[in-house]
Amino acid sequence: MRVLELNSQYLGVTLSMLMQNAGREVARVIINSASVEGKRVSILCGLGGNGGDGMVAARYLQEAGASVEVFLVGSAERIASSDTKENWNILNNLETIPNIVLKTESAIKSCPALEESDILVDGLLGFGLHSDLREPILTAVKQINASKAQKYAIDIPTGIDSDTGEVHGDAVIADQTITLHAEKIGLAKAEEYVGKLHVVSIGIPLEASEICGPGHVFLFTQSRNPSSHKGDYGRILVIGGSDVYSGAPSLTGLAALRTGADLVSIAAPSPVASTIRGYSPNLMVTSIGTDVFAEESFDVIFPLVESNDVIAIGPGLGLDNKTQEAVLQFLNQIESSKRLVIDADGLKCLAKSDITFESESTILTPHWGELGIMLGQKLDASPSLDEKLKSARYAVELFKATVLLKGHDDIIVSPNGQYRFNRTGVPAMTVGGTGDVLTGICAALLARRSAFLSACAAAFISGKSGELAHSKLGNHLMATDCIEYIPDVMK
């Protein structure tokens, strides 16, 4: 839901618009299921978006003839949402809808309206609760349950975990629940608290669930635990480089660091290891002891694999016969628990193989030409978006991995059938190395979440970083410029 809300905002449908729609729909359900004219309706609102929905509903319920009071549980100065604050200010301008602040448990217990109301509306907390209720919300929940009024919950009864259905300390026992946009997973597991369930539309556009957007990036931008240790946010190993290519694995490693990975190691052939080491002191570079990646390199490679969370293999690796054989041997021997990003020459080694991967932990990042090699097919040089999607789905079926098909519109497909389109990027990103940057972004994100969500966020970040670099440099950007704008996109 948070992804959808933020993607909607990116498309121009603001959170304020969604809140207005939600409040109207909440009121509509109550009006249609109860005779509200002349009834006393009390709406308990929290400090977030759920409370804002209740504030909007108050106006519509009053318009339908109800006697409405709004109770803010907590301090008005601590309202977390600007849209909720705006609707609280509207209520302050309306003399006919009393709005009362209940800051403490004692204020809630001594509020007569909670006992005398005909209808109580729970707008305290929405989705996203994952810990026990705290005061004064906990007391408000107990008072709601003690009332004989008809009880309605907005989105999810306060106290219910929207993902698991777990009760966190206590929860509102609603007669009816009005959930927004779609049924939350937890509702089906807490039916005794939900009552009659209504699913209402709030105007989230279909495209919000079809594109990669800021909502996907949001999943990777949460505050770090103050007691975090080095390595908690990703140890990445890049296996790449050859006697011809030294820049590709370096770009992948630097992009992973800029995306937030804690530690990045690069395992590279002897001829280029020292060169890569000179690019940046932030990269830990190990020579694999051979001129190209080969079976003889495994004695060096596998101890490194053990100490890292995500393995990115392929950038600049080359297509020496020994390398192609070694890639397949390596992928077959690696533990299934390891997370993988396979790109560039690593992808070409998959052609005509029968190898499959762990769907939640592997990302393949081909462009259209590489996809044809992987599939062993001659693909249309000018495919439609539908043709690209069809071929990407076929690759997913073959390899059982998430596929991020790069192009004018990136296509991300998961083995569970989900897919997204990414529209960010500019033609100037045809410059060499931008694909290696994307691989690094994917690897850093994959250390923290599933392959599909990581690929969606990575595609958006990569393209948007290119857009920002292009806005400054025009058609003169380099892959390293894109790396420098990654933090700005993630902010």
Residues 276 and 191 in one domain: no
Q: Let me know whether 431 and 470 are in one domain.
A: yes
Last residue in a domain, options 151, 181, 209: 209
Provide the residue range defining the domain that includes 184: 2-209
pLDDT digits (tens, 9 = 90+) for 82-124: 999 999 999 999 999 999 999 999 999 999 999 999 999 999 9
Encoding tokens for residue 488? 């700005």
- Per-chain mean pLDDT for the chain: 96
Asked if 187 and 318 sit in the same domain, the reply is no
Q: Is 479:434 a contact under the CB 8 Å cutoff?
A: yes
User: pLDDT (tens digit, 9 = 90+) per residue, 432-458?
Assistant: 999 999 999 999 999 999 999 999 999
The answer on pLDDT for 243 being more than 90 is: no
At residue 325 the predicted structure's pLDDT band, cuts being 50, 70 and 90, is very high
Is residue 80 assigned to a domain? yes
Q: Are residues 364 and 477 in the same domain?
A: yes
Do 410 and 388 contact (CB within 8 A), yes or no? Answer: no
- The percent of residues above 90 in pLDDT, for the chain, comes to 96
Inside any domain, residue 221: no
Same domain, 78 and 201: yes
What would the 3-class secondary structure string for the chain be?
A: CHHHHHHHHHCCCCHHHHHHHHHHHHHHHHHHHCCCCCCEEEEEECCCHHHHHHHHHHHHHHHCCCEEEEEEECCHHHCCCHHHHHHHHHHHHCCCCCEEEECCHHHHHCCCHHHHCCEEEEECCCCCCCCCCCCCHHHHHHHHHHCCCEEEEECCCCCECCCCCCECCCCCCCCEEEEECCCCHHHHHCHHHHCEEEEECCCCCHHHHCECCHHHHHCCCCCCCCCCCCCCCCEEEEECCCCCCCHHHHHHHHHHHHHCCCEEEEEECHHHHHHHHCCCCCCEEEECCCCCCCHHHHHHHHHHHHCCCEEEECCCCCCCHHHHHHHHHHHHHCCCCCEEEECCHHHHCCCCCCCCCCCCCEEECCEHHHHHHHHCCCCCCCCCHHHHHHHHHHHHHHHCCEEEEECCCEEEECCCCCEEEECCCCHHHHCCCHHHHHHHHHHHHHCCCCHHHHHHHHHHHHHHHHHHHHHHHHHHCCHHHHHHCHHHHHC
- Placement of tokens 């991967």 in the chain: 357
Q: Are residues 95 and 202 in the same domain?
A: yes
Number of domains the chain contains = 2
Which CATH number characterizes residue 59's domain? 3.40.50.10260
Domain finish residue from 209, 243, 259: 209
Q: Is residue 484 part of a domain?
A: yes
CA–CA dist 40, 69 (Å, integer): 8
Predicted local confidence at residue 352, as pLDDT: 85
Does residue 220 sit within a domain? no
Q: Which of 177, 209, 241 is the last residue of a domain?
A: 209
123 and 11 share one domain: yes
- Asked if residue 456 and residue 410 are part of one domain, the reply reads yes
The pTM of this model reads 0.93
The answer to whether 236 and 445 are in contact (CB under 8 A) is: no
Q: Which of 242, 447, 437, 256 is nearest to 337 (CA)?
A: 447
| Same domain (yes/no): 242, 278 | yes
- CA–CA distance, 460 with 481 (Å, rounded to integer): 16
pLDDT above 90: residue 380: yes
In a domain, 199, yes or no: yes
Residues 244 and 199 in one domain: no
Q: What is the pLDDT of residue 359?
A: 86
73 CB-side CA count, 13 A: 32
- Name the phi and psi angles at 340, rounded to 5: -130, 140
Contact 57, 36 (CB under 8 A): no
- The CATH number given to whatever domain includes residue 242 is 3.40.1190.20
My answer on whether 423 and 479 are in the same domain is yes
Same domain for 254 and 195? no
Nearest-5° Cα angle at 291, 285 to 295: 90
Asked, for residue 219, whether it belongs to a domain, the answer is no
- pLDDT over 90 (residue 392): yes
